C-alpha cells in the first residue's frame, strides 16, 4: 500500500554559472578629418557598457560596447586633443543546466585600454575586459514533510526541523535619469571635457512588502582642459533612487542590488557652456535571498507492517556570514623621472581569486591602476600598474564564498622620490554559505504484516548498542518505538549510556 504524504514546494533559483570572463578586443581606426595628426598618444580612458544578455541552452551570452576617449598630443598644436572610439564586444560563458527560461546577470568592467599610433592618421586600440556572469535556473523542489494518517498503521517518523537559505528572486529594472553638472575650474572660456568615467553604486536597499526600494549614486570622474592648456580632474556625485517589484520574497530577505551603466552622454547648455546636462541609462539587477523554515521527512517505518522506503538526498543551504571588508592600498609607483605634478588617477578591478590558509580564506583582487602626471618638462605622461589587493576572511573549509569587489572612492596620488605615492581603497562584498546533504523520503509503501515474516519473535530482546547506533535505528530494526525503549530502560533522554545493555520490547 502506497503511503500519502504532506508535501511542500520550494521555488528558488539554482546557480549554474558564477564566473568572470576575461577577454581582449582590438580595433583599428582612422583619425577623423577634423582632427590634427597624432604626435604622441598620452592616454586611453574608456567605459564598458552592457547592451544585452541572453540565456541559452547551456550557455550565457553577454554583449556590450567599450567607449574610449583617446587623448593625444597633436603635431602642430599645444595641449591635448580627444578622439573617441567605440568597440563592440560579445562574450559567452558555459552554463551547464541553463535553459532559455533561465536568468542571466552581467557586470562589465574595463580593466585597461591601450592605444598605439600606427601612423599620424591611424590608431590601433586594444581593450582588456572583465565580465562577471551569473546564470541561474529556476527550480521547483518538492519535499515530504510527513505521512498523512500515520497513527492508523503504527507509523513512526523521523523529521528534521531546520531552515534553508535560498536565492528566491532575480529581477531587473532599466531606468534613465539626468542631472546638471557645472564645470567649476578656471575663469573665462569654458574648459573642454576630455574624458568622463562613470561608476554606479547602490548604497541602500530595503524590502517593504513586495517592493524593493534602493538608492545609490553615480560618481563621475572628469578630466577637463582649460583654455590655457592646463589639465584639471574633478568628481561629481549624482544620486538616484528607484522602486522595483519583487516576487517570492519577504521583508526579511537579504538584497543584493548592482547597477550597470548601459549608456552615457552629455550636452552643453546653449545659454552657458559651463553647464552640462548628463543623461545616464542604467540597469539595476537584483538578487534576493531568504531563510525559509523546512520540515523534512528523513525516515519512517511501521510497527505493524514491513516498510519499503525510497529516499534521495536533499541539499539544504545555510548562511554563514554576509559582510563588507574595505582594504586600503598604499604603493609607490616608480616613474624613472621626477614628477612635477599629478593630474589625476583611476583604477578598475579584474578577477577575484581565492586560496586558503587553514580556516582563513585569502581573497585577491586585481587592481588596474592608471595615473596621469606631468614630467619635468610639464609634458603629460601616463603610468600603468597592476596591483594585487588582498583581503583575509575567517571562513571554515566546508564553507564557500561568493565575493564581488567595488572601487571605494577615488585614487589619491602625490609626487614622491622616484615617482608617485598612491592610495586607494577596494571593498570586498562577501557572502559565505554552507550546504549539507540530508536523506529525504520521496515515497514509501507498506507490505505484509510484520508477524508473517518474523516467526516467533521474542517479546523482549537484550542487546548492546553498536557504535554510532541510536535509538531510532534500534527501534526501527525491532519494529518498536523509541518511547517504548525509553520506558523499558527508565532512560530520561535519547542519549544512550555507554556500555549498557538495553531491553528492547516488542509491540504485539
- In three state form, how does the secondary structure of 484-508 look? HHHHHHCCCCCCCCCCCEEEEECCC
Q: What pLDDT does residue 153 have?
A: 82
Phi-psi region of 419 (alpha: psi -120 to 50; beta: other; left: phi over 0): left
Q: Which residues contact 504 (CB under 8 A, 6 or more apart)?
A: 460, 461, 462, 463, 474, 478, 480, 485, 488
Q: Which residues contact 57 (CB under 8 A, 6 or more apart)?
A: 98, 99, 100
Q: Are 144 and 442 in contact (CB under 8 A)?
A: yes
Q: Are 262 and 51 in contact (CB under 8 A)?
A: yes
Domains located in the chain, CATH noted:
10-137+167-289+319-435 (no CATH), 456-508 (3.10.350.10)
Q: What pLDDT does residue 11 have?
A: 92
Q: What pLDDT does residue 186 have?
A: 62
- Can you tell me the distance from the alpha carbon of 456 to that of 390, in angstroms, rounded to the nearest whole number? 70
Q: What pLDDT does residue 279 have?
A: 96
- Can you tell me the distance from the alpha carbon of 7 to that of 380, in angstroms, rounded to the nearest whole number? 70
Q: What pLDDT does residue 350 have?
A: 87
pTM of the model as a whole: 0.89
Q: What pLDDT does residue 33 have?
A: 92
Q: What pLDDT does residue 454 have?
A: 54
Angstrom CA distances, 263 to 220, 221, 243, 385, stand at 13, 16, 20, 28
Of 493, 483, 485, nearest to 460 by C-alpha is 485
Render each residue's pLDDT in the chain as its tens digit; 508 residues: 889 999 999 999 999 999 999 999 999 999 999 899 999 999 999 999 999 999 999 999 999 999 999 999 999 888 899 999 999 999 999 999 999 999 999 999 999 999 999 999 999 999 999 999 999 999 999 999 999 876 678 899 999 999 999 999 999 999 999 999 988 766 678 889 999 999 999 999 999 988 999 999 999 999 999 988 889 999 999 999 999 998 877 778 899 999 999 999 999 988 888 899 999 999 999 999 999 999 999 999 998 889 999 999 999 999 999 999 999 999 999 998 999 999 999 999 988 999 999 899 999 999 999 999 999 988 999 999 999 999 999 999 999 999 999 987 899 999 999 899 999 999 999 999 999 999 999 999 999 888 755 555 566 788 888 888 889 999 998 889 999 999 999 899 888 888 888 899 876 5
Burial 229-247 (b: 16+ CB within 10 A, else e): ebbbbeebebebebebebe
CA angle 30, 33, 34 (to 5 degrees): 125
211-225: strand order across its sheet: 192-208, 211-225, 231-245
C-alpha cell at 467: 557504535
Q: What pLDDT does residue 273 have?
A: 83
Q: What pLDDT does residue 456 have?
A: 53
Of 214, 289, 286, nearest to 249 by C-alpha is 289
Amino acid at each position: 500500500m502506497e503511503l500519502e504524504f504532506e508535501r511542500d514546494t520550494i521555488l528558488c533559483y539554482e546557480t549554474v554559472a558564477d564566473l568572470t570572463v576575461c577577454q581582449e578586443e582590438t580595433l583599428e581606426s582612422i583619425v577623423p578629418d577634423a582632427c590634427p595628426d597624432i604626435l604622441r598618444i598620452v592616454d586611453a580612458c574608456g567605459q564598458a557598457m552592457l547592451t544585452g544578455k541572453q540565456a541559452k541552452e547551456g550557455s550565457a551570452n553577454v554583449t556590450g560596447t567599450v567607449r574610449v576617449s583617446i587623448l593625444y598630443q597633436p603635431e602642430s598644436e599645444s595641449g591635448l586633443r580627444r578622439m573617441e572610439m567605440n568597440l563592440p564586444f560579445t562574450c559567452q560563458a558555459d552554463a551547464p543546466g541553463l535553459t532559455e527560461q533561465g536568468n542571466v546577470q552581467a557586470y562589465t568592467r574595463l580593466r585597461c585600454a591601450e592605444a598605439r599610433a600606427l601612423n599620424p592618421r591611424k590608431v590601433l586600440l586594444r581593450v582588456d575586459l572583465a565580465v562577471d556572469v551569473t546564470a541561474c535556473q529556476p527550480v521547483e523542489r518538492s519535499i515530504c514533510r510527513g505521512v498523512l494518517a500515520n497513527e492508523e498503521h503504527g507509523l513512526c517518523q523521523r523529521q528534521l526541523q531546520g531552515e534553508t537559505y535560498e536565492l528566491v528572486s532575480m529581477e531587473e529594472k532599466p531606468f534613465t535619469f539626468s542631472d546638471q553638472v557645472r564645470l567649476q575650474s578656471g575663469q573665462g572660456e569654458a574648459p573642454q571635457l576630455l574624458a568622463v568615467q562613470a561608476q554606479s553604486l547602490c548604497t541602500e536597499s530595503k524590502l517593504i512588502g513586495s517592493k524593493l526600494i534602493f538608492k545609490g549614486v553615480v560618481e563621475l570622474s572628469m578630466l577637463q582642459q582649460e583654455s590655457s592648456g592646463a589639465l584639471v580632474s574633478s568628481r561629481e556625485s549624482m544620486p538616484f533612487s528607484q522602486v522595483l517589484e519583487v516576487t517570492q520574497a519577504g521583508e526579511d530577505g537579504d538584497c543584493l542590488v548592482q547597477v550597470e551603466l548601459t549608456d552615457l552622454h552629455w550636452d552643453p547648455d546653449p545659454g552657458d557652456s559651463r553647464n552640462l546636462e548628463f543623461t545616464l541609462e542604467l540597469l539595476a539587477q537584483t538578487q534576493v535571498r531568504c531563510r525559509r523554515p523546512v520540515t523534512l521527512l528523513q525516515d519512517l517505518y511501521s510497527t505493524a507492517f514491513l516498510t519499503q522506503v525510497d529516499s534521495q538526498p536533499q541539499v539544504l543551504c545555510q548562511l554563514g556570514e554576509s559582510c563588507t571588508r574595505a582594504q586600503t592600498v598604499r604603493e609607490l609607483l616608480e616613474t624613472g623621472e621626477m614628477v612635477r605634478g599629478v593630474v589625476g588617477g583611476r583604477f578598475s578591478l579584474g578577477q577575484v581569486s581565492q586560496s586558503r590558509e587553514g580556516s582563513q580564506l585569502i581573497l585577491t583582487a586585481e587592481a588596474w591602476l592608471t595615473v596621469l602626471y606631468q614630467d619635468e618638462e610639464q609634458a603629460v605622461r601616463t603610468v600603468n600598474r597592476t596591483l594585487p589587493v588582498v583581503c583575509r576572511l575567517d571562513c571554515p573549509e566546508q564553507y564557500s564564498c561568493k565575493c564581488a569587489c567595488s572601487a571605494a572612492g577615488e585614487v589619491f596620488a602625490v609626487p614622491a622620490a622616484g615617482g608617485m605615492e598612491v592610495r586607494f581603497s577596494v571593498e570586498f562584498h562577501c557572502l559565505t554559505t554552507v550546504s549539507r546533504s540530508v536523506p529525504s523520503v520521496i515515497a514509501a509503501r507498506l507490505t505484509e504484516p510484520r508477524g508473517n515474516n518474523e516467526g516467533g519473535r521474542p517479546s523482549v530482546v537484550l542487546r548492546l548498542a553498536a557504535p554510532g547506533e541510536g535509538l531510532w535505528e534500534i527501534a526501527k530494526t525491532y519494529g518498536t518505538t523509541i518511547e517504548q525503549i525509553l520506558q523499558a530502560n527508565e532512560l530520561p533522554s535519547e542519549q544512550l549510556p555507554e556500555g549498557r545493555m538495553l531491553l528492547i520490547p516488542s509491540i504485539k
